Structure 1
Amino acid sequence: MLSKRSLVGVQLNFRTLAVLFFLLIGTQVFAADPAVVESDEAIAAGKTVFNANCKTCHKLDQKAIGPALRGITDRQSIEWAKSFIKNSQAVIASGDDYANKLYAEYNNLMMPSHEFLSDADLDNLLSYIEYGDKVDPAAQAAAAGTEGAVSGGGGGIPTEYLTIIVVVLLIVLLLILIVLGLIISVLTKYIDKQDLPEDDKEFVSQKFNLGKVLKSDGFIIIVTALVVALVAKTAIDGLYNVGVQQGYAPTQPIAYSHALHAGTLEIECQYCHTGVEIGKSANIPSANICMNCHTHVQNVQGKEGISPEIQKIYDAVDNNKPIEWVRVHNLPDLAYFNHSQHVKVGGIECQTCHGPIEEMEVVYQHSSLTMGWCIDCHRQTEIAADGNEYYDKLVQLHSDSKDALKVKDIGGLECAKCHY
């Protein structure tokens, strides 16, 4: 038999072990990923990574080409987020449910891999995503409204919001009807117990007539209002998307693979699209440019003989006829866009507008190319003024501002810049 003192000692030892155990567990929990923190240094470094790799398709607190990013470490684990950023295609291919839902929701657009990012880069990036550039909700709503007003596609009230409003109204209407039904039922039972005149009893005991309800003015007005609202919503959605061809991927006369040429073989875009740094248009390459290589490369993936697709290039050259490529990206005539101004002067990468072109077997329109999309880019893009004397005076005039010099500060939002 244990003495009372021994029992007390056992209890104390047990409590001590329990406290140490929970302290250990707590330490492990809080040390799970201490690098994703609300630190000014980490947030600043993460913003640099974000601007270089993510801002083309993502925003922190609202949807863009891709989903809003803030809160990803609440929705999924930090390790999952890092894996998805490094190689989203591998995560999707693994059958991950959340990744595949995102892939389907955003029209099967594949995010480029970022295997080159180190763990420190990813920690800083997630720190910026979770804690950086937090804005006042009212100001954010106002900014979203302004952007939507000028956007040709994806602007105005988002479709999902209108759908939610209609569904909520229907649910509220249904709840009202249920409550009214319950009230009528309770009152009817109460009145039945009262001593009423015969006329009143006949009125109270009358049966529910569905036909009269369906023919009533109130029901007709409600149904008409709902139909008008749905038709108006559909018409507005259609108007906002007139001329927007995001995702357009026509079949070309030759099955040219950018994934092979720009991706695997790492041929620079400028080699084929010769005007991209010197003129307004990027130029569609002529068959002669193709023949610079395909005079010697006549097959595909080790197959013997001239492949059928490469034979089409030979036929075009022999018959002196241009290859009739189908245009994918086409701005309206009222909008002026200069490739050299963006690529040569601005240093903008092709992928900023055209997406992961080096991964496309069939080229598709990656961005919406709407007015709102362009304006938002001009609002966010910083000017690379270092070492360029052209910007010295502008930088000096802008020195009093706390924000970096951006395209919007040098006339990037003026109407005449694109419409003249």
Structure 2
Amino acid sequence: MYRRVSIRMRKHFVSVLVLCVGMIASFSARAAADPSKGKTLFQQNCASCHNVHKKLTGPALAGVEERWVDKKLLHQWIHNSASVLASGDAYANALFNEYNKTPMTQFPALSDGDIDDILAYIGKEATAVAAGPATPAAGGATTGTAEEEGGNGLLFGIITLILAVVALILMQINSNLNKLAADKEGIATPEPVPFYKNKAYIALAILLLFIVGGYFTINGAIGLGRQKDYMPEQPIFYSHKVHAGINQINCLYCHAGAEKSKHAMIPSENICMNCHKVINEYSGPTLYTAEGKKVNGTAEIQKLYDHVGWDVTAKEYTKPGKPIEWTRIHNLPDHVYFNHSQHVVAGKQQCQTCHGAITEMDEVHQFAELSMGWCVNCHRTTKVQFADNKYYSIFEKFHEQVKNHEIDSVTVEMVGGTECQKCHY
């Protein structure tokens, strides 16, 4: 009888373990798509033509997965839109005609996982807008963004830990039942070793601690010196959202060096005074710091006047000026060469590629990692202006392949954009 009970318990134990593994696999699949990674990829590859909520060069991307009958077809469209059009797909051809037969840029270098990450970001953004704006914290600043991004990972970790504890308890129960059945049949068996004295369990725990500790140690070492999300307090509260977003001031008006020089340059006070000789009061939407503290826009304009020595009443400079000590946010190591003009003029890169949604930021923070891996991945997917470009005339092989339709575009990587000496010399 006890043998039958033991066999049944073993079967039940195995079933529970299989269920646990299945649940872990299920949660792993759900957590596979990474919206935060997708946001970076979206800014690098999609933002110049698409917006999640409104039409630009291409359609708004909210609900894009529902508009395609097959997700694989959507992947194929992103990899090679010409092949989908050639297949006669009705929706693809209607989309092509709607946008004046402008071909969709092809991204063969993006993996299916990268595309899923982008789609996860689009879905998250669309859901956030559909749910309405978040409840503002004190002063109107919204909270919870970081928690939402890390919530799935935390939930997955907690569930995995719970399932591991359940599996451990079931293993101990199984061992005790085997001992009970053996004793009933007169079979001498040693006392089961408590789990906290079991060498196998101890070794497993040490191995897990070593793996987890090593993972966090390596990640921490990789992140040394990086400043992602760095947002220092500046001497004057300057809102890019108000200037570049609401008032549509072109980035190059203030950062003229971005298309002419290696450095984008912090604009001089004279640039600010071109407008603020006339605009001496702030009348835009209420401003808040990242901590939710209300900002007096007019008082911030007065700080500018104090630095440059401008008298509002006399409408002239009445005292010597002093420089505004802005805190630099984006800073690359000294051994890295980066040229703004090369990327803005030759590469046709948008500011948002590296700086994120700058037109929506009141206080600027570092959006991208600006790490070597981040730059290399961008070079692997970004296409150069290859056709009718004399600078690339020496690449006869690629010209021939484009002519023969063997490739449809040339990436920065293909013309040496990932070679060490391009950035380190």
Class of the TM-score when normalised by the shorter of the 2 chains: 0.5 to 0.7
SS in 2 for 1:323: coil
Which residue number corresponds to residue 355 of structure 1?
Answer: 356
1:334 partner letter: H
Contact 1:246 1:365 in 2 (8 A): yes
Q: Does 1:90 align with 2:129?
A: yes
Which residue number corresponds to residue 117 of structure 2?
Answer: 68
Residues 258 and 309 of structure 1, relative CA distance in 2, 3 Å threshold: same
Counterpart-to-counterpart distance in 1, 2:251 and 2:279: 19
Counterpart-to-counterpart distance in 2, 1:227 and 1:311: 56
Counterpart-to-counterpart distance in 1, 2:103 and 2:129: 21
Q: Show the 5 A alignment for 1:143-162.
A: none
Contact 1:59 1:68 in 2 (8 A): no
2:132 partner letter: A
Larger radius of gyration: 1
Which residue number corresponds to residue 414 of structure 1?
Answer: 419
Instruction: Name which of 168, 174, 181 aligns with 2:173.
Output: 181
Contact 2:110 2:381 in 1 (8 A): no
Counterpart-to-counterpart distance in 2, 1:228 and 1:33: 44
Contact 1:378 1:406 in 2 (8 A): yes
SS in 2 for 1:242: coil
SS in 2 for 1:253: coil
Which residue number corresponds to residue 310 of structure 1?
Answer: 301
2:355 partner letter: H
Counterpart-to-counterpart distance in 2, 1:89 and 1:184: 51
Which residue number corresponds to residue 228 of structure 1?
Answer: 210
Which residue number corresponds to residue 231 of structure 2?
Answer: 249
Counterpart-to-counterpart distance in 2, 1:168 and 1:35: 34
Counterpart-to-counterpart distance in 1, 2:118 and 2:284: 43
Counterpart-to-counterpart distance in 2, 1:209 and 1:35: 58
Residues 236 and 344 of structure 1, relative CA distance in 2, 3 Å threshold: same
Q: Show the 5 A alignment for 1:167-206.
A: 171=163, 175=167, 178-179=170-171, 181-194=173-186
Counterpart-to-counterpart distance in 2, 1:84 and 1:269: 25
State the 1:416 CA deviation. Answer: 0.4
SS in 2 for 1:214: coil
TM-score normalized by structure 2? 0.60
Q: Show the 5 A alignment for 1:13-24.
A: none
2:277 partner letter: T
Which residue number corresponds to residue 122 of structure 1?
Answer: none
Contact 1:60 1:69 in 2 (8 A): no
Counterpart-to-counterpart distance in 2, 1:329 and 1:174: 47
State the 1:94 CA deviation. Answer: 5.4
State the 1:185 CA deviation. Answer: 1.6
Residues 345 and 218 of structure 1, relative CA distance in 2, 3 Å threshold: closer
State the 1:317 CA deviation. Answer: 1.3
Which residue number corresponds to residue 324 of structure 1?
Answer: 325
1:292 partner letter: N
Cα root mean square deviation, aligned = 4.3
Number of equivalent positions: 307
Contact 1:379 1:406 in 2 (8 A): yes
TM-score normalized by structure 1? 0.61
Which residue number corresponds to residue 371 of structure 2?
Answer: 370
Contact 2:242 2:284 in 1 (8 A): no
Residues 369 and 51 of structure 1, relative CA distance in 2, 3 Å threshold: farther
Counterpart-to-counterpart distance in 1, 2:338 and 2:170: 58
Residues 335 and 171 of structure 1, relative CA distance in 2, 3 Å threshold: same
State the 1:256 CA deviation. Answer: 0.4
Q: Deviations over 1:338-362 (max 9, x none)?
A: 0011111221111111111111111
Contact 2:231 2:364 in 1 (8 A): yes
Contact 2:238 2:362 in 1 (8 A): yes
Residues 36 and 291 of structure 1, relative CA distance in 2, 3 Å threshold: farther
Counterpart-to-counterpart distance in 1, 2:284 and 2:183: 91
Contact 1:276 1:339 in 2 (8 A): yes
Which residue number corresponds to residue 385 of structure 2?
Answer: 384
Q: Deviations over 1:358-384 (max 9, x none)?
A: 111111111111111111111111112
State the 1:89 CA deviation. Answer: 5.9
Counterpart-to-counterpart distance in 1, 2:393 and 2:333: 34
State the 1:222 CA deviation. Answer: 3.7
Structure 2: gaps spanning 5 or more residues: 1-64, 78-83, 86-91, 136-142, 286-295, 310-319
Residues 221 and 170 of structure 1, relative CA distance in 2, 3 Å threshold: farther
Contact 2:398 2:410 in 1 (8 A): no
2:327 partner letter: V
State the 1:408 CA deviation. Answer: 1.1
Determine what percentage of the aligned residue pairs are the same residue. 34
Counterpart-to-counterpart distance in 2, 1:62 and 1:101: 26
Residues 419 and 252 of structure 1, relative CA distance in 2, 3 Å threshold: same
Q: Does 1:274 align with 2:256?
A: yes
State the 1:240 CA deviation. Answer: 1.9
Q: Deviations over 1:68-114 (max 9, x none)?
A: 14589xxxxxxx95x955xx763252579xxx998854489xxxxxx
Contact 1:60 1:70 in 2 (8 A): no
State the 1:228 CA deviation. Answer: 2.7
Contact 1:246 1:367 in 2 (8 A): yes
Residues 363 and 302 of structure 1, relative CA distance in 2, 3 Å threshold: closer
Structure 1: gaps spanning 5 or more residues: 1-31, 73-79, 109-158
Which residue number corresponds to residue 343 of structure 2?
Answer: 342
SS in 1 for 2:395: helix
State the 1:178 CA deviation. Answer: 2.2
Contact 2:308 2:321 in 1 (8 A): yes
Which residue number corresponds to residue 293 of structure 1?
Answer: 275
Contact 1:275 1:282 in 2 (8 A): yes
1:384 partner letter: Q
2:170 partner letter: I
Counterpart-to-counterpart distance in 2, 1:298 and 1:395: 58
State the 1:389 CA deviation. Answer: 2.8
